[in-house]
Amino acid sequence: MPTVLDASAILAFLLDEEGADRVEEHLDRATGSATPGLVCIVNLTEVLELLPNALTSPLFGPSGLVEVVGITQAQAQWAASIKEKTRVAGLSLADRLCLAVAHDTNQSVLTADRAWSEVALGVSIVQIRGRV
């Protein structure tokens, strides 16, 4: 089943940081799927701010493991609607949009950001660092 990747998960994978193995496991499990992984364009922008050459990675491209998706009006509205609920956990607009894609597509989301697990939003959060 496809998974939505937060910028932190993509960065961990590309930089071979802690949690990269968990990201790889999820992508490996999904390789038989038409779309092994999704990343919203906003999260890709966060990745590109830190790694301008990230698009040359095998993650991206026509036969890549991750598909870059835009944001729909419904996803934007959902992300806006959870602003107050996520404020205490410090979630950014990009975080909320990533969660919106996962919520809308009924997929889990991979992240290194522990704060995401502090807020109940009906989205399955998979932490890539620490205990499983």
- pLDDT for position 131: 67
Is 132 a residue whose pLDDT tops 60? no
- pLDDT for position 34: 60
38 and 5 in contact (C-beta within 8 Å)?
yes
Residue 125's DSSP bridge partners are 109
- pLDDT for position 4: 96
Rounded average pLDDT over 13-42: 85
Return the CATH number of 3-127, one of 3.40.50.1010, 1.20.20.10, 3.40.50.2300, 3.30.300.30: 3.40.50.1010
Q: Where are the beta strands (DSSP E) in 42-89?
A: 67-69
Residue ranges of domains in the chain: 3-127
- pLDDT for position 1: 60
